[in-house]
Amino acid sequence: MLIEAREGAVVTLTLNNPAKRNALALPLRIALIEAFERLEADKTVRAIVLTGAGTSFCSGGDIDSMAEVTGLAVGRERFRRSHHLVRLMVKSSKPIIAAVEGWAAGAGIGLALACDTIIAAKDARFVASFARLGLIGDFGLLHTLPRRVGEGYAKQMLLYAEPIDAVEALRVGLVDRVVEKGKALEAAHARAAILAEGAPLAAAYTKAHFARGLDELLDWEREAQSALLLSRDHQEGRAAFLEKRKPVFTGD
């Protein structure tokens, strides 16, 4: 589910469920939480690289498990765990680099944006697909996305749920570098090596500055998304996704 490798002061975490395009099912979220907690406490780790096995970085949340949210309390618990992971990444003292090949969709784009540097292969595609399911952007996306691309472009991505390619992502600042297909991990390791030689306290304080405001946003997101998961529009969006048809939303 999660592969961990180390070279010097750099640790690479690989999402390893290619059959589901590395969807963020609960076991994978728990594995990521445990890994980031352990790495944060290890002073010999100076940088972290996050990537996905197979043809995608991460396809987002596990659609099937969304049906398990049968009440607000269940939804709040779901997001308590997810938000713990977001906080661990965004507030980590260690710089984190995402190496993206293929799709980063839904919570997958949120996972990439919780990193500090994003290296994308030319075949990478990004989509904030929540509106198709009758949901708002989650996984901290309403905090991280506007800080990357500005509020105007972020609003268009979230409202229209249209995919963008790596070239457009670089143009708007969603990613930091674009490399040839199959070279994202190699490029991420090169950037991580530079960070590993830097001053760790300076990196930690820089990250802490940009993390300000995250907690307030996540508290609001937890309540709003928990409610939306119980809406009829979300039930329709989920059914339409699984049935591969266009959803018909009613505002209920």
Rounded (10°) angle between helices 214-228 and 141-149: 120
Cα–Cα distance measured from residue 78 to residue 26, given in angstroms and rounded to the nearest whole number: 9
Q: Which of 181, 134, 184, 180 is nearest to 159 (CA)?
A: 134
| pTM, rounded to two decimals | 0.95
Q: What is the average pLDDT across 204-210?
A: 97
For 10-64, write each residue's pLDDT tens digit: 999 999 999 999 999 989 999 999 999 999 999 999 999 999 999 999 999 877 6
Cα–Cα distance measured from residue 54 to residue 84, given in angstroms and rounded to the nearest whole number: 26
Q: What is the four-CA torsion angle of 35, 39, 42, 48, rounded to 10 degrees? A: 150
Residues in a beta bridge with 100: 120
CB 53 within 8 A of CB 17: yes
pLDDT at residue 3 greater than cutoff 70 = yes
The residue with tokens 């670089």 is: 170
CB neighbourhood size of 102 (10 A): 23
CA 104 to chain CA centroid, nearest Å: 8
pLDDT, position 61: 85
CATH 3.90.226.10 fits 2-182, yes or no: yes
For 91-134, write each residue's pLDDT tens digit: 999 999 999 999 999 999 999 999 999 999 999 999 999 999 99
Q: Is 179 exposed, middle or buried (0-12, 13-18, 19+ CB in 10 A)?
A: buried
CB neighbourhood size of 206 (10 A): 15
Cα–Cα distance measured from residue 98 to residue 76, given in angstroms and rounded to the nearest whole number: 27
pLDDT, position 67: 61
pLDDT, position 66: 65
DSSP secondary structure string for all residues of 224-250: HHHHHTTSHHHHHHHHHHHHTS-----
